Structure 1
Amino acid sequence: MKDIERDPDEESVYECFNCGTIVTATAAGSCPDCGADMRNRQTPIE
C-alpha cells in the first residue's frame, strides 16, 4: 500500500457498521440514523 498525502478538510464516504447508512463527511462520527460507529469506505477492512 502506498502512503498518500491527505487533506484533513477533504470529505470522505463513511458507512455505518450497524445499519449500512452511507454519509459524506470530513471525519467519522456516529451514524445519524442509529448512533453506531462509522468506517471510512476508502480504508480496507482486514
Structure 2
Amino acid sequence: MKDIRFNPEDESTYECFNCGTLVRTTAPAQCPDCGTDMRNRRTPIE
C-alpha cells in the first residue's frame, strides 16, 4: 500500500455511520442529515 501524505486542508469523502450520507469536505464533525459521527472513506475499517 502506498503511503499518502496527510494534509488537513485537502478535501476527502466522508460517510455517515448511521444513514450513509456522503459529504465531500475537509473534516466534518457530524452528519448534516442525522447528526451521527462520520468516517473518512479513505481510511479502511478493519
TM-score by length of structure 2 reads 0.87
Runs of 4+ off more than 4 Å:
none
Report percent identity of matched pairs: 70
**What are the ranges of 5 or more consecutive residues in structure 2 without an aligned counterpart?**
none
In the alignment, structure 1 segments of 5+ residues that lack a partner are: none
Supply the AA of the counterpart residue of 1:10. D
Structure 1: which amino acid aligns with 2:38? Answer: M
TM-score (norm 1): 0.87
